[in-house]
Chain A
Amino acid sequence: MVQHTPVVGIGQKRSSPRVEAYKTFWRRLRKNKAAVVGGVLILLFVLTGIFGPFFTTGDPNATQISNKLAPPSGEHWFGTDNYGRDIFTRIIHGMGITMKVGFLSVALGGTVGVILGIFSGYYGGPLDTFIMRAMDILLAFPGILLALAIVSVLGGSLQNVIIAVGVFSVPAFARIVRGSTLTVRKLEYIDAVKALGASDARIIFKHILPNVLSPIIVQLTLRIATAVLTASGLAFLGLGAKPPTPEWGAMLNEGRAYMQQAPHLVLFPGIMIVLVVLAFNIFGDGLRDALDPKMNK
């Protein structure tokens, strides 16, 4: 591909490499059709999560026993469940919960993981060994099992699910950030600012963090998918939000008994979980490709 170098006159301030990098990044991301679809879906999900409840008619928990297990129709788009609750309304309300769990738990796990990873990579030595061995211990458990254990200890509530899923995202971030920090730390400009007498905090936050951001962003996106799946899994096992909260995993669990007569009870929450996870995954993959400097095309 031809490199387009903008012609800039002497003395004119040029756009920063960051702006240039964003432009290249957008160009690459837009080329990736799957990533665009994923991104649009995510945007749609987030907006639905925030504003959806204001547009749906009625209470997600309003029962109508006379009209239970009704198949999808003009009045009830996704049908009704075993208590006669409108599944569409419940799904829209559940979107907010799913998004909240996904974003908050990853924000929690990401923050802790990034800090641990940067300190581990920057200081090295016994601190590094200690942090990384602790991460290995966390990684040794299958994710869902670890989250299960944490929720069992803390008690089942939405807040504890967020904490549990957050904790199990920590090692992934810590490892990736540690690796990137090790690379950046060895660069000569870090030595240069060190020789100028910069404090560790300045070096870490001003010179290392901005240069390890791209893998963090990719990981954040991919981890949300995992978080959503884990949270639904916990709810399905009855360890998440308490009924009658319209959590998708819980809805799956409730509908399980009626799968033969009324498959729509599990079909719609199931489809939604798949869509959300898929959207974040393909968007995350797209981000990774677009941010990878080796794919310079």
Chain B
Amino acid sequence: MAKKELLKVDGLKQYFPIKGGMMGRTVNHVKAVDDISFTIYEGETVSIVGESGCGKSTTGRAILRLEEPTEGTVTFNGHELTSLSKREMRKLRKDLQIIFQDPYASINPRQTVADVLDEAMTIQKVLPAKERRKRIIELLETVGLNEYQADRYPHEFSGGQRQRIGIARALSVNPKLIICDEAVSALDVSIQAQVLNLLQELQKDFKLTYLFISHDLGVVRHISDRVIVMYLGKIVEIGDKYSIFENPKHPYTKALLSAIPVPDPTREKKHIVLTGDVPSPIDPPTGCRFHTRCPFAQEKCKVDVPELSTHASMINGHEAACHFVEEIENGTLQAEGFEEAVF
């Protein structure tokens, strides 16, 4: 079966202006997302991982035009979203939904669950008013809530239940793509598992495509088909789940993966400890953005921006943005001042 492109992001940039001075002039920009491109195929789950401030949430918001992107194109199902008028975009929003991180802030405290779902259907004219009540009950049951909870207010629910309401809201307009922006990060682990399983079941039942934004590598490993690793507004590595987790090529991905705890006290594990902080996205490093913290950094890394590229040992569209993938691989390039703590 040929894979059908559902969402294609090309050269997406999101710069936030910093205003300053007497006249409120733009003195600089926070380069939250800086020229990223990727494609999502129908029915798959793609995750974006990276540490705080790397631009993963901003990417999600820019795709939905919750924040107007500075540059680049987002093509969804043949429609170029960034060039649509606000009115045309509103109609298309039916197909692209989002589930938020904070289940306590993502529902208007003054609306009952039924109100929330009803409003969603009213906005997108999903069903005639008479049939909506039935659909609301159906939706609640789909996400594991009950009919008697329809007329309750958000404060009467737990975090996990609220997240289910958020999922029901997203489902109410029959979307094709759902962006899960840290959708389970605020929940505790047992609830996380429940919600993740629910998301997977829904994907099967409704043929959904997910863009899953998370910093939790365990969750990402569980749910993804493909993974995008971001660092400071750029994609450093992209590939299927197996490639990223078992055969990481970019030094940053390696460091990130070594931070996953392993539930085996007897196993000696090498931790790659990165030193220093993430540089400021206002004035990112030249060349490779990771060179300030990379143990393999060479002169070239400070000057040339590495492009995503594939190498001999990489399969299935696995790409990394590093100048020295092969040299690191065959050991001709050794890490300098690299802390390898053994725990």
Chain A residues with CB under 8 Å of chain B are: 10-11, 13-14, 16-18, 129, 187-189, 191-199, 202, 206-207, 210-211
Contact = CB atoms under 8 A, between A and B. Distances in A.
A193 B93 CA distance: 10
B152 A191 contact: no
B108 A207 contact: yes
B97 interface: yes
Nearest to B148: A11
B102 A13 contact: no
Interface stretch (B118-126, B193-201, B216-224, B237-245): B118-126
A22 B102 CA distance: 27
Contacts of B91: 197
Contacts of B166: 192
Contacts of B119: 193, 196, 198, 206
B100 A196 contact: no
B173 interface: yes
B107 interface: yes
Contacts of B101: 188
Given A191-B66, A191-B98, A199 B90 contact: yes
Interface in B142-201: 148, 151-153, 155-156, 166, 169, 173
B342 interface: no
A188 B64 CA distance: 14
B85 to A, nearest CB: 13
Given A196-B93, A197-B91, A189 B66 contact: no
Given A13-B151, A14-B156, A189 B124 contact: no
A192 B151 contact: no
Contacts of A195: 64, 66, 93, 96-98
B153 A16 contact: yes
A17 B110 contact: yes
Contacts of A16: 110, 112, 153
A193 B120 CA distance: 7
Nearest to A192: B106
B22 interface: no
A196 B110 contact: no
Nearest to A18: B110
Contact of B153 (A11, A17, A197): A17
Nearest to A202: B123
B10 to A, nearest CB: 22
A197 B90 contact: yes
B109 interface: yes
B105 interface: yes
12 contacts: A16-B153, A17-B109, A129-B24, A191-B61, A192-B98, A195-B96, A195-B98, A196-B97, A197-B89, A197-B91, A197-B93, A197-B123
B50 to A, nearest CB: 20
Contact of A211 (B100, B110, B123): B110
B249 interface: no
A196 B102 contact: no
Contacts of B64: 195
A188 B102 contact: yes
Contacts of B94: 197
Contact of A196 (B24, B151, B152, B169): B169
Interface string B78-106: 00000000000111111011101110011
B250 to A, nearest CB: 32
A6 to B, nearest CB: 11
B239 to A, nearest CB: 29
B66 A194 contact: yes
Contacts of A210: 110
Given A14-B151, A18-B110, A191-B98, 10 more contacts: A16-B110, A16-B112, A17-B109, A187-B105, A188-B102, A192-B106, A193-B108, A197-B92, A197-B93, A197-B124
